[in-house]
Structure 1
């Protein structure tokens, strides 16, 4: 059956759903709580986000507000119902081959067959031309060599960089697609650097941008949008014992992350110490001693904002934490769960599937969308990976093991050592494509 006949069939079924039932028939098809909800079939059996789907069965009722439909744990939009049919919209990124469940008045039932979900993605270039320098200006003329990214709720992309110029420069910049501009917020040369910036964090409720100075253990910088992001140096206040416990040789703190669960900032030093910082008083406390190692990613899961995720590099000890994704429960950081690795041990590699079996190759920056899907800049594999909310790892863009530069769909797109990622409120992913010296955008439907 060709696509036009399929579309005609769907539209015909939808017309009957919304128009064919008389008022009396709709009354008769109200949900009967004394009878079970029954499922028979759904159509189509495969598709992507925002596709329309018809779910057939019995005893659904006719009030869409009282019907919930889930693809795995991702909630679909229910548009209409006629007692024995539901018209819904497929949600974004539900995970591999999701099961469809229908919940009416507490009665939850699941279709026997899974839905075959197809990721529909498109990669484009936002700014940068391959020159490994920093030069502000309009998007088409700017040069970027960004490492880490973050976004606020207003669509501003914040980028930290260390460029390849002579002399090399370091700094933080703001990129705005709508305003067509790349502009520095703070900048210095290697010989007299003010801020050696890596990971960035934004409190999306206030817009406050915070950056950790990598090589001065008590210094952070804040950029307040109410002050046009004017940089302010702020010194974290540790007790004498906590301050002295941070070994000078391993004082490097690559990241600071805002946690909406308790309102604190969290940072980690190379010696494995994790500290919480009050964002206003700047009083800080060491709350956990974890494994040693350089760090290349840190993020909070907004769906479970008490979980702090961290990627460690090849110098991590014990060796079980090398090149992996680990997590710490901030509700009880020294509890029995502790600091634990999520993906398979064994160092670098490439493997999709359940996270317990998955392998990465120098995983760098990590960020989450609002549904709890994690996106990973898989630097050594030259691709963008996703860990779904139900802990399934898939490759969403790029060609694993094949570096290059190419925009387009998920199969043909190419990256070269992607380093930073950030996700906006709509779920669009921005990538600091480091060796291509560009900022790229991945839109997943």
Structure 2
């Protein structure tokens, strides 16, 4: 509707109406403030009533708790009476193990279930200023404790101050620390011997029988990965990662010499970061950094040839072959994604690879399927058989890998879904903490991983913390 100017002039302001109208919001405002004040006073009063001091003339009582079952790291609420209000004067044990107390509110006591609380009996004690027990109560039923996978420190000494670093050989309880752990590899003929490389730093041998860590001397200034021949003595293969066009990149260290003597493999090769041996046919495949390709060497014919070009040159490509030999993963460290290459059994060679997870050239952190997942400098991985897949058939293995700059251990299932398995605990990223895989454990630039199928545990080369970590069920 159009309004003429003359019509507008008729709408003269009514002073009394405007004054009343302006007063209404202010009256409502003061009324609202009054209600809020009453509410806050009531809340404060309730809070005061809930924070009841311990009464020495009354017993401490535990009436119930929730949840009834769980593992280490479970948030537990204990209900009862006369706990007091000062958590520094309250002690809770579960299965004889001290629990961390988060808070107390009235008749509710909040705590975290500690590791190894196997027996599950819950006891609450109130202490005096000298930490002497004044009163104690026990739950009528026990907490059902479930053993779970936990991260622990397996080997090495943690140095909070980097300049205090000590490197040395020695028994498990006194073997110093290990810089830049890059690749872990079990001896296929002796599962009690675990080797690791450390880039420009010293390679080591971890001897579980002798409980001793010793240097493994290769004579190379920079060692990337290790692998093993499948025939004969199952000799060791070591990669020398250098920048010369007139030097060899792969060497065989003979078992007969106790891995002290070596012989070069194939032609000259620079920038070798990844090497694998096919688990059935025995040919060797290796990646070259600057050339940006994957090559194949045949131990029988001595033939060395190009398999395929990598999508990018100047990329460190680590490789892990599936236990069946049906395919291998190409871990594109500098480009933050993983490719898969399928094996052609007729021609005994791998085919052109394709992306299975992550986005080429895009770093980040995100769980997801295929290219929706985000990685940040992935390094070594290991295939682990998953019993849950047995009935369905098909691929029986999950792939666990170190996502270095995300400070986490990730898993990749046969459908291409990436999940975070361990690390980044307490809403953090890097750090050093043991405990529950996701809520507590933290790593610092993990690069190497190995799985002990007999002991059902993982070993992690935590390169930024200079330690070997362990992921296993509680013992």
Compute the displacement of 1:307 (Å).
1.3
Alpha-carbon distance between aligned partners in 1 of 2:413 and 2:209, rounded to the nearest angstrom: 30
1:222 to 1:173, Cα distance in 2 relative to 1, 3 A: farther
Compute the displacement of 1:381 (Å).
1.0
Compute the displacement of 1:204 (Å).
6.7
Alpha-carbon distance between aligned partners in 1 of 2:468 and 2:182, rounded to the nearest angstrom: 10
1:161 to 1:231, Cα distance in 2 relative to 1, 3 A: farther
Q: Which residue number in structure 2 is paired with residue 255 of structure 1?
A: 274
Compute the displacement of 1:437 (Å).
0.1
1:133 to 1:296, Cα distance in 2 relative to 1, 3 A: farther
Contact 2:287–2:318 under 8 Å retained in 1: no
Alpha-carbon distance between aligned partners in 1 of 2:435 and 2:350, rounded to the nearest angstrom: 45
Is 1:139 aligned with 2:176? no
Secondary structure of the 2:464 match is helix
Contact 1:185–1:231 under 8 Å retained in 2: no
Is 1:347 aligned with 2:365? no
Contact 1:121–1:396 under 8 Å retained in 2: no
Is 1:422 aligned with 2:450? yes
Q: Which residue number in structure 1 is paired with residue 228 of structure 2?
A: 202
Contact 2:307–2:349 under 8 Å retained in 1: no
Larger relative contact order, structure 1 or 2 (CA cutoff 8 Å, min sep 6) = 1
Question: Among 184, 187, 204, which residue is 1:173 paired with?
Answer: 204
Q: Which residue number in structure 2 is paired with residue 329 of structure 1?
A: 342
Is 1:223 aligned with 2:247? no
1:186 to 1:394, Cα distance in 2 relative to 1, 3 A: same
Q: Which residue number in structure 1 is paired with residue 92 of structure 2?
A: none
Contact 2:357–2:416 under 8 Å retained in 1: no
Question: Among 127, 136, 156, which residue is 2:193 paired with?
Answer: 156
Question: Among 379, 383, 398, which residue is 2:404 paired with?
Answer: 379
1:140 to 1:355, Cα distance in 2 relative to 1, 3 A: farther
1:336 to 1:159, Cα distance in 2 relative to 1, 3 A: closer
Contact 2:253–2:263 under 8 Å retained in 1: no
Measured against aligned partners, the alpha-carbon deviations of 1:402-437 in whole angstroms (never above 9, x if no partner) come to 111112221211100101112223342211100100
Is 1:399 aligned with 2:424? yes
Alpha-carbon distance between aligned partners in 2 of 1:234 and 1:363, rounded to the nearest angstrom: 28
Measured against aligned partners, the alpha-carbon deviations of 1:53-91 in whole angstroms (never above 9, x if no partner) come to xxxxxxxxxxxxxxxxxxxxxxxxxxxxxxxxxxxxxxx
1:377 to 1:355, Cα distance in 2 relative to 1, 3 A: same
Is 1:299 aligned with 2:326? no
Is 1:310 aligned with 2:343? no
Alpha-carbon distance between aligned partners in 2 of 1:207 and 1:336, rounded to the nearest angstrom: 22
Secondary structure of the 2:264 match is strand
Gaps of 5+ in 2: 1-63, 72-145, 160-164, 386-395
Q: Max radius of gyration: which structure?
A: 2
Q: Which residue number in structure 1 is paired with residue 217 of structure 2?
A: 186
1:134 to 1:210, Cα distance in 2 relative to 1, 3 A: farther
Q: Which residue number in structure 1 is paired with residue 466 of structure 2?
A: 437
Measured against aligned partners, the alpha-carbon deviations of 1:322-353 in whole angstroms (never above 9, x if no partner) come to 21011122318999972211114261111123
Question: Among 130, 137, 150, which residue is 1:122 paired with?
Answer: 150
Give the paired residue count.
Answer: 304
1:301 to 1:230, Cα distance in 2 relative to 1, 3 A: same
1:387 to 1:155, Cα distance in 2 relative to 1, 3 A: farther
Question: Among 301, 308, 321, which residue is 1:288 paired with?
Answer: 308
Q: Which residue number in structure 2 is paired with residue 234 of structure 1?
A: 264
Measured against aligned partners, the alpha-carbon deviations of 1:360-402 in whole angstroms (never above 9, x if no partner) come to 1111222212442111111111110111234322211111751
Measured against aligned partners, the alpha-carbon deviations of 1:207-236 in whole angstroms (never above 9, x if no partner) come to 432111112553423334443222413231
TM-score (norm 1): 0.61
RMSD, aligned CA: 3.3
Runs of 4+ residues over 6 Å off in structure 1: 332-337
Alpha-carbon distance between aligned partners in 2 of 1:335 and 1:226, rounded to the nearest angstrom: 30
Question: Among 261, 265, 269, which residue is 2:288 paired with?
Answer: 269
